Amino acid sequence: MASESVLAALPHRPPFLFVDEIVEREADRIVTRWHVPHDLPAFQGHFPGDPVLPGVILCEFCFQSAAILYSNPDERSQPGTSTALLTRIEDARFRRVVLPGETVTAELKTRERLSNARYVDAKVSVGKDLCLRISFAVALVERTQASPA
Protein backbone atom coordinates (compact mmCIF):
# COMPACT_ATOMS: atom_id res chain seq x y z
CA MET A 1 0.00 0.00 0.00
CA ALA A 2 1.51 3.31 -1.09
CA SER A 3 2.19 5.97 1.51
CA GLU A 4 0.53 9.40 1.35
CA SER A 5 3.86 11.00 0.33
CA VAL A 6 4.12 8.65 -2.66
CA LEU A 7 0.53 9.32 -3.73
CA ALA A 8 1.07 13.07 -3.42
CA ALA A 9 4.19 12.98 -5.62
CA LEU A 10 3.04 10.61 -8.39
CA PRO A 11 0.19 10.71 -10.88
CA HIS A 12 0.32 6.86 -11.02
CA ARG A 13 -2.35 4.80 -9.30
CA PRO A 14 -3.00 1.07 -8.89
CA PRO A 15 -2.73 -1.21 -10.68
CA PHE A 16 0.23 0.66 -12.21
CA LEU A 17 1.80 2.01 -9.00
CA PHE A 18 5.02 0.25 -8.00
CA VAL A 19 6.39 2.39 -5.14
CA ASP A 20 5.15 1.91 -1.57
CA GLU A 21 7.40 4.21 0.43
CA ILE A 22 10.12 6.82 0.34
CA VAL A 23 12.96 5.71 2.60
CA GLU A 24 15.32 8.67 2.03
CA ARG A 25 15.14 11.76 -0.14
CA GLU A 26 17.71 14.46 -0.87
CA ALA A 27 17.99 17.02 -3.67
CA ASP A 28 19.64 14.62 -6.16
CA ARG A 29 19.11 11.22 -4.52
CA ILE A 30 16.22 9.04 -3.42
CA VAL A 31 15.76 5.61 -1.88
CA THR A 32 12.37 3.93 -2.31
CA ARG A 33 10.85 0.58 -1.45
CA TRP A 34 8.18 -1.67 -2.97
CA HIS A 35 6.73 -4.79 -1.41
CA VAL A 36 6.02 -6.98 -4.46
CA PRO A 37 2.55 -8.47 -3.91
CA HIS A 38 1.94 -12.18 -4.36
CA ASP A 39 -1.20 -11.37 -6.34
CA LEU A 40 0.35 -8.95 -8.84
CA PRO A 41 -1.61 -9.53 -12.10
CA ALA A 42 1.63 -9.92 -14.10
CA PHE A 43 2.37 -13.14 -12.22
CA GLN A 44 -0.67 -14.82 -13.80
CA GLY A 45 1.18 -14.98 -17.13
CA HIS A 46 4.88 -14.50 -16.19
CA PHE A 47 5.35 -17.45 -15.59
CA PRO A 48 2.37 -19.54 -14.39
CA GLY A 49 3.49 -21.99 -11.72
CA ASP A 50 6.93 -20.36 -11.41
CA PRO A 51 6.27 -16.59 -11.25
CA VAL A 52 9.06 -14.07 -11.80
CA LEU A 53 8.65 -10.29 -11.75
CA PRO A 54 9.02 -9.00 -15.32
CA GLY A 55 12.17 -6.92 -15.73
CA VAL A 56 10.18 -4.12 -17.36
CA ILE A 57 8.16 -3.70 -14.14
CA LEU A 58 11.38 -3.56 -12.11
CA CYS A 59 12.55 -0.80 -14.47
CA GLU A 60 9.21 1.00 -14.07
CA PHE A 61 9.75 0.93 -10.29
CA CYS A 62 12.92 2.97 -10.95
CA PHE A 63 11.17 5.35 -13.34
CA GLN A 64 8.41 6.00 -10.81
CA SER A 65 11.03 6.58 -8.12
CA ALA A 66 12.63 9.20 -10.37
CA ALA A 67 9.25 10.85 -10.86
CA ILE A 68 9.00 11.18 -7.08
CA LEU A 69 12.53 12.58 -6.82
CA TYR A 70 11.79 15.27 -9.39
CA SER A 71 8.17 15.97 -8.46
CA ASN A 72 9.17 19.35 -7.00
CA PRO A 73 12.43 20.14 -8.84
CA ASP A 74 13.01 23.67 -7.52
CA GLU A 75 11.64 26.31 -5.22
CA ARG A 76 9.67 28.01 -8.03
CA SER A 77 7.51 24.96 -8.69
CA GLN A 78 4.43 24.05 -6.75
CA PRO A 79 4.56 20.53 -5.26
CA GLY A 80 3.24 17.96 -7.70
CA THR A 81 3.07 20.27 -10.74
CA SER A 82 5.79 18.59 -12.80
CA THR A 83 6.08 15.05 -14.09
CA ALA A 84 9.22 13.18 -15.06
CA LEU A 85 8.65 11.46 -18.40
CA LEU A 86 11.05 8.75 -19.54
CA THR A 87 13.06 9.79 -22.59
CA ARG A 88 15.93 7.33 -22.72
CA ILE A 89 17.09 4.01 -21.32
CA GLU A 90 20.85 3.95 -21.65
CA ASP A 91 21.73 0.67 -20.00
CA ALA A 92 19.95 -2.00 -17.98
CA ARG A 93 21.71 -4.96 -16.40
CA PHE A 94 19.67 -7.61 -14.63
CA ARG A 95 21.54 -9.63 -12.00
CA ARG A 96 18.88 -11.51 -10.03
CA VAL A 97 15.19 -12.37 -10.45
CA VAL A 98 12.58 -10.90 -8.13
CA LEU A 99 9.93 -13.25 -6.78
CA PRO A 100 6.42 -12.66 -5.42
CA GLY A 101 6.45 -11.42 -1.84
CA GLU A 102 9.96 -9.97 -1.92
CA THR A 103 10.74 -6.36 -1.05
CA VAL A 104 12.82 -4.36 -3.51
CA THR A 105 14.74 -1.21 -2.68
CA ALA A 106 15.82 1.32 -5.30
CA GLU A 107 18.59 3.87 -4.87
CA LEU A 108 18.69 6.59 -7.53
CA LYS A 109 21.27 9.33 -8.00
CA THR A 110 21.19 12.22 -10.43
CA ARG A 111 24.24 11.95 -12.66
CA GLU A 112 23.64 15.14 -14.66
CA ARG A 113 21.16 17.99 -15.05
CA LEU A 114 20.75 19.59 -18.46
CA SER A 115 17.88 22.05 -18.95
CA ASN A 116 14.75 20.06 -18.09
CA ALA A 117 16.53 16.69 -18.51
CA ARG A 118 17.82 14.56 -15.67
CA TYR A 119 20.25 11.69 -16.23
CA VAL A 120 19.93 9.04 -13.56
CA ASP A 121 21.88 6.03 -12.31
CA ALA A 122 19.88 3.51 -10.29
CA LYS A 123 20.29 0.19 -8.60
CA VAL A 124 17.63 -2.15 -7.25
CA SER A 125 18.26 -4.74 -4.56
CA VAL A 126 16.50 -7.37 -2.52
CA GLY A 127 18.30 -7.21 0.79
CA LYS A 128 21.99 -7.17 -0.11
CA ASP A 129 21.43 -8.91 -3.46
CA LEU A 130 21.74 -6.60 -6.48
CA CYS A 131 18.88 -7.19 -8.96
CA LEU A 132 19.24 -4.37 -11.48
CA ARG A 133 21.54 -1.55 -12.49
CA ILE A 134 20.04 0.93 -14.91
CA SER A 135 20.90 4.33 -16.37
CA PHE A 136 18.16 6.42 -17.92
CA ALA A 137 17.00 9.95 -18.64
CA VAL A 138 13.76 11.77 -17.90
CA ALA A 139 12.38 15.12 -19.02
CA LEU A 140 10.57 17.31 -16.51
CA VAL A 141 7.34 18.65 -17.95
CA GLU A 142 4.44 20.53 -16.45
CA ARG A 143 1.74 18.05 -15.57
CA THR A 144 -0.76 19.70 -17.92
CA GLN A 145 1.59 18.85 -20.82
CA ALA A 146 1.71 15.22 -19.73
CA SER A 147 -2.07 14.87 -19.59
CA PRO A 148 -3.90 13.35 -22.55
CA ALA A 149 -5.58 15.82 -24.88
Known catalytic residues are 46
Cβ neighbours for 135, distance < 8 A, ≥ 6 positions apart: 89, 90, 91, 92, 111, 119, 120, 121, 122
Say how far apart CA 53 and CA 102 lie, in whole Å. 10
CA–CA dist 117, 13 (Å, integer): 24
DSSP 121: E
| Pairing of β 82-94 and β 129-142 | antiparallel
